[in-house]
Chain A
């Protein structure tokens, strides 16, 4: 899932202050927790209260799209609501914001979220952790299902670097050494010989320019 965090309300209020009729567009897609109808409604309530402090009255409409990155679905949900709207506030990741901006080029579209990374949620702990960097050249098959590009601070393809202490990264002792995890995993699978293979540097061109697949 794509992990986002709410922007500070003041920043969002600054965005929308010049406008009165605001459409808040939720996204039911891959963010966790989903920033769907409830978050759209909650945000409208918080912004209304915040607006009062600035002597500003907003009219909010709330809507949600199944996934804002799908321009067809997003258009079908937003178009019936767009009349009379001065600006759209999107609760999606950066992709959703851009989809709406493309759909309604005449309207300013603002993000209500900061998009952080692609990650997984540890439900009990309530934490979200980055797991994939979208490098375009997946090596999970030979790294025991653990991504060193994302989880090794140095992004090494031929680890470990030797700097880890007690299984923790020398860059951040709060984080596990990804290569130690890979070693343990491969050991369990009796596949340690995979570590003998040398992996040439990644093809950074895959990330250097926007790609279409």
Chain B
């Protein structure tokens, strides 16, 4: 297997020819994936540690870093196209880690018409993108970053804040007016319906951050400062008393029905952790495959998987981060366990092969594509057998 891995395409590359060994990237990398060799003084990349946050890419003054996802070229192309498509001169850049649905954005910023740009960490958006967007005719940019303590890439959110401060000053001096770029922070939180809570304590056990408290007598309460919005407790609550703000169970159910209706057989629905799979801003859609991005694979609700089958979806794939890459603590392993248990139950009615779980990482872009392709072939084969 390791032989295969070395030949794989990687998401981030350091171009030694352009690198001036200035150390900016290695000082910003939250994962010590880019370091400077003490002896040679050369900068090097340890891709196994890289989480593809893109902070180094956005900060490199020599453009010595190549990145596959959300590089400046594709972002600008997207902006030009989206400006026409959404017919708006307001841009909203959202970190996936803190993004509510579009309705939520309306509430947060009080804007109804805007160009959405959702990225894994706004820390990867360089000054260049902001300025070029303004040159393009965009006159207001709202940035939705994660609350500082909740940034999955540790430094992305603070870097964004500094960038926006500097950019706003610059734009004001250039005569673009005050506060062209506005920063807001948000983070996803659990919400509890105390009427439904049965005080079983499952959430207290599962919460990786000790946010759930259950004192007798009473129902559960959450310390929202500790909650990091992974949704594990929501998926584990036997009483359906918990939900994740802006990622409500109902909302995901509606999405499943909508997606199923627009798909062509063999229908494949992919629940993917938004940290495990990064997609191009202009992801092409295939008629038989649809994706639902979740804040963490542990938010995958088993009832949503079953709903998908009930809606006539032929195969469900769950893509999670490997446990050592999990942006939440211990959560992706729990997701795997839940899916395994469900598969066991599905095997009793012959559905087990229609559900597949895989660990993938954005650092190897082909990993996910291969999983989808292989699973698609398997499900396609079922379909043709059934038609016969």
Contact = CB atoms under 8 A, between A and B. Distances in A.
B348 A50 contact: yes
B345 interface: yes
A28 B303 contact: no
Contact of A45 (B239, B240, B307): B307
A6 B238 contact: no
Given A46-B306, A49-B310, A33 B238 contact: yes
A8 B344 CA distance: 11
A15 B350 CA distance: 19
B64 interface: no
Interface in B304-337: 306-307, 309-310
Interface stretch (B45-53, B93-101, B104-112, B195-203): B195-203
Interface in B26-70: none
A42 B202 CA distance: 17
B10 interface: no
A10 interface: yes
A53 interface: yes
A73 to B, nearest CB: 12
Contact of A38 (B303, B310, B349): B303
Given A8-B348, A50-B348, A66-B198, A39 B238 contact: yes
Q: How large is the interface on A (under 10, 10 to 19, 20 to 34, 35 or more residues)?
A: 20 to 34
Interface in A32-56: 32-39, 41-42, 45-46, 48-50, 53
B198 A41 contact: no
A64 B238 CA distance: 11
B382 to A, nearest CB: 14
B102 interface: no
Nearest to A43: B345
A128 to B, nearest CB: 14
B239 A42 contact: no
A36 B345 contact: no
A6 B346 CA distance: 13
Nearest to A29: B198
B309 A42 contact: no
Given A9-B345, A50-B348, A41 B238 contact: no
A34 B348 contact: no
B209 interface: no
Interface residues of B, number: 21
Which of B198, B205, B351 has the most chain A CB atoms inside 10 A of its CB? B198
Contacts of A38: 237-240, 303
Interface in B123-160: none
Given A33-B202, A37-B196, A28 B307 contact: no
Contacts of B351: 49
A28 B200 contact: yes
Given A33-B238, A50-B348, A45 B200 contact: no
Given A8-B348, A9-B348, A34-B239, A49 B306 contact: yes
A49 B316 CA distance: 15
Contact of B198 (A36, A46, A49): A36
Nearest to B200: A34
Contact of B303 (A34, A36, A42, A50): A42
Contacts of A64: 239
A133 B238 CA distance: 27
A123 interface: yes
Contact of B306 (A32, A39, A45): A45
Given A28-B200, A42-B302, A42-B303, A36 B238 contact: yes
B231 to A, nearest CB: 14
Interface in A12-27: none
B120 to A, nearest CB: 30
Given A45-B303, A45-B306, A28 B198 contact: yes
Contacts of A49: 306, 309-310, 346, 349, 351
A50 B239 CA distance: 24
B335 to A, nearest CB: 15
Contacts of A10: 348-349
Contacts of A34: 198, 200, 202, 238-239
Given A6-B345, A33-B238, A64-B239, A45 B310 contact: yes
Interface of A: 6, 8-10, 28, 32-39, 41-42, 45-46, 48-50, 53, 64, 66, 123
Q: Which 3 A-B pairs have the closest CB atoms?
A: A45-B306, A28-B198, A50-B349
22 contacts: A8-B348, A9-B349, A32-B200, A34-B202, A34-B238, A35-B238, A36-B200, A36-B238, A36-B239, A39-B238, A42-B302, A45-B307, A45-B309, A46-B306, A46-B348, A46-B349, A49-B306, A49-B309, A49-B346, A49-B349, A50-B349, A53-B350
Given A45-B306, A49-B346, A49-B349, 14 more contacts: A8-B348, A9-B348, A28-B239, A33-B202, A34-B202, A35-B238, A38-B238, A38-B240, A42-B306, A45-B307, A46-B306, A46-B349, A49-B309, A50-B349
